[in-house]
Amino acid sequence: NRVGVGGHSYGAFMVANLLSHSNLFAAGIARSGAYNRTLTPFGFQSEERSYWEAPDVYYTMSPFMHADKMKTPLLLIHGEADNNSGTYPLQSKRYFNALKGLGATVRLVMLPKESHGYRAKESIMHLLWEQDEWLDKYVKNKSEPVQP
C-alpha cells in the first residue's frame, strides 16, 4: 500500500494497464503514453496486425477501454508538442477526460512546447515537482481507511 509505479511512453501504457487490472499500487505516474490502441491502427510494439485484422486485441490492450476499472490515483504528464505518431497529446487528453468523467482520481499536466522526450529545464523541474507532490500525497502520506 506504499508502492507507486511510473513509466514513460510504452511504460506509461503499461502503468495504465497495471492500475486498471490490479490493486497492487498506491499511485501511478504515466508520461507520454498511448492509452487507446485503436488510435494506432497499423500495429504497435510486436503486434503487426492492423486494427481491422485484430480488433479484439486493440480493444483489450487499451487502458482507455478499461477506464471504468481505474481505482488508483493516476498522474498523467504529456508534452503538448509530442509528434510521436503513437503518442500524440490527444491520447492523454482523452484518457484524462474518460477517467475524470468516471470519477477517478487523476491529474493531467501538459508541458508546453515539449515533444515525446522533455528537454527544457523548466519542464523537467516542473514534472519532477508534480511527481514529488503526487507521490507525497498518494504514497508517502497516503491516508489509511478507517477500520470499523
Q: How confident is the model at residue 115, as a pLDDT? A: 98
Supply the CATH number for residue 88's domain.
3.40.50.1820
What grid cell was written down for 122? 523548466
Domain span holding position 84: 4-140
Sign of CA dihedral 133, 136, 13, 67: negative
Question: Using an 8 Å Cβ cutoff, are 27 and 73 in contact?
Answer: yes
Bridge partner list, 88: none
Residues belonging to the active site: 9, 82, 116
Q: How confident is the model at residue 43, as a pLDDT? A: 80
Report if residue 127 sits inside a domain.
yes
Report if residue 115 sits inside a domain.
yes
Report if residue 148 sits inside a domain.
no
Between vectors from CA 115 to CA 17 and to CA 14, what angle results, nearest 5°?
A: 10
- Cα 144 from Cα 45, distance rounded (Å): 38
Q: How confident is the model at residue 101, as a pLDDT? A: 99
Walk along the chain (148 residues) in steps of 10 and give the mean pLDDT of each run: 96 98 98 96 87 96 98 98 96 99 99 98 98 97 72
pTM for this structure?
A: 0.94
Q: For the chain, what is the domain count?
A: 1
